[in-house]
C-alpha cells in the first residue's frame, strides 16, 4: 500500500495526507462515464502527487474511445494529448507538482509505447511534457496565485490553458484563462449541465460567453508545442 503521509511536519504545515487508491477508485467510479471521455476536464485543486489525476488519465487512455485510435498513431497522439490537456492540478509544494507531472507523463508514455510502438517520436513526447508543465500548476488554490519554491504567493495569478483541435487537423490550439474566471464561470447557471459533474470536473465547453475572458490564444502543430506556438 502507498504511504499516505510523508512526514508529520508536512501534515502539520500543509495538511498533506494522500488518499488511498481504493478511495480514489471509488470516487472516480462515481463519475466513471466522464473519466472515460477523452476531453472531459478535471481539476484537482490540492493535487499532491496526483492520486486522482493519475487514475483519471489511466481511465481516459484505456477508454473505448482511445481504443478506436489504436490503428493510427496520428489519431492516437492527437487524442492522447487532448486527454492529457484535459487534466489540471494545483499544489503549493513544488516537489509534489514535479512528482505529479512525472507520474502523469510516465502513465501517458507507457501507453504511448504500447500503442504506437516504432511510430513513437520524441517531438510528441516533448509536447506531452509541455502540456503537463502548464496544466500542473505550482500555486495556492485559496488565493488563486502562483507560489514560489517556498510555497509563498507570487504576483502571478494562476493561469490555465484550454487545449483543443478545433479544425480536427494537426493544429492544437491553446486558450489561456485566469483561474478565478473559470471558477466564477462554474458558479453561473449553465444551459446544458449535468449536475453530477461538479466537484473535480470543470466543464465540457468553457467559453467566453459563459464568463471566462481568455488572456491569449496560441496555435501550432501538435508535435511542436512549446517550440513554434504562434499567438492567434
Ligand X SMILES: C[S@@+](CC[C@H](N)C(=O)[O-])C[C@H]1O[C@@H](n2cnc3c(N)ncnc32)[C@H](O)[C@@H]1O
Contact residues for ligand X (CB under 6 A)? Answer: 14-19, 44, 46-48, 51, 90-93, 96, 140-142
- The whole-angstrom separation of Cα 37 and Cα 60 is 6
Select 142 or 208, whichever has its Cβ closest to ligand X. Answer: 142
**H or E element: which one contains 35?**
helix 32-35
Select 16 or 186, whichever has its Cβ closest to ligand X. Answer: 16
- The whole-angstrom separation of Cα 128 and Cα 225 is 8
Select 94 or 120, whichever has its Cβ closest to ligand X. Answer: 94
Burial class (CB in 10 A: 0-12, 13-18, 19+), 180: middle
Least distance from C-beta 89 to ligand X, angstroms? 8
Least distance from C-beta 19 to ligand X, angstroms? 3
Select 14 or 37, whichever has its Cβ closest to ligand X. Answer: 14
Least distance from C-beta 17 to ligand X, angstroms? 5
Least distance from C-beta 53 to ligand X, angstroms? 9
Task: Write down how long the chain is.
Answer: 232
Residue 100: CB partners within 8 Å, gap ≥ 6?
47, 48, 49, 50, 53, 89, 91, 136
DSSP-derived 3-state class of residue 7 = coil
Select 51 or 161, whichever has its Cβ closest to ligand X. Answer: 51
Residue by residue, DSSP assigns 79-121 as HHHHHHHTEEEEES-HHHHHHHHHHHHHHHHHHHHHHHGGG--
Least distance from C-beta 46 to ligand X, angstroms? 3
Amino acid at each position: 500500500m502507498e504511504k499516505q503521509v510523508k512526514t508529520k511536519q508536512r501534515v502539520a504545515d500543509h495538511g498533506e495526507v494522500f488518499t488511498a487508491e481504493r478511495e480514489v477508485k471509488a470516487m472516480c467510479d462515481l463519475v466513471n462515464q466522464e473519466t472515460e471521455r477523452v476531453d472531459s476536464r478535471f481539476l484537482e485543486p490540492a493535487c499532491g502527487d496526483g492520486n486522482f489525476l493519475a487514475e483519471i488519465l489511466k481511465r481516459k487512455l484505456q477508454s473505448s474511445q482511445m481504443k478506436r485510435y489504436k490503428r493510427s498513431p496520428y489519431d492516437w497522439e492527437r487524442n492522447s494529448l487532448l486527454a492529457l490537456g484535459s487534466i489540471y492540478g494545483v499544489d503549493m509544494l513544488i516537489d509534489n507538482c514535479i512528482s505529479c507531472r512525472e507520474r502523469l507523463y510516465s502513465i501517458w508514455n507507457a501507453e504511448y509505447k504500447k500503442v504506437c510502438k516504432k511510430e513513437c517520436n520524441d517531438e510528441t513526447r516533448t509536447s506531452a511534457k509541455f502540456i503537463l508543465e502548464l496544466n500542473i500548476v505550482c500555486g495556492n488554490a485559496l488565493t488563486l496565485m502562483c507560489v514560489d519554491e517556498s510555497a509563498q504567493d507570487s504576483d502571478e495569478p494562476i493561469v490555465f490553458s484550454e487545449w483543443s483541435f478545433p479544425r480536427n487537423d494537426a493544429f492544437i490550439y491553446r486558450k489561456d484563462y485566469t483561474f478565478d474566471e473559470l471558477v466564477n464561470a462554474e458558479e453561473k447557471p449553465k444551459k446544458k449541465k449535468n449536475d453530477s459533474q461538479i466537484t473535480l470536473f470543470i466543464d465540457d465547453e468553457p467559453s467566453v460567453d459563459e464568463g471566462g475572458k481568455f488572456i491569449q490564444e496560441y496555435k501550432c502543430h501538435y508535435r511542436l508545442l512549446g517550440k513554434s506556438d504562434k499567438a492567434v
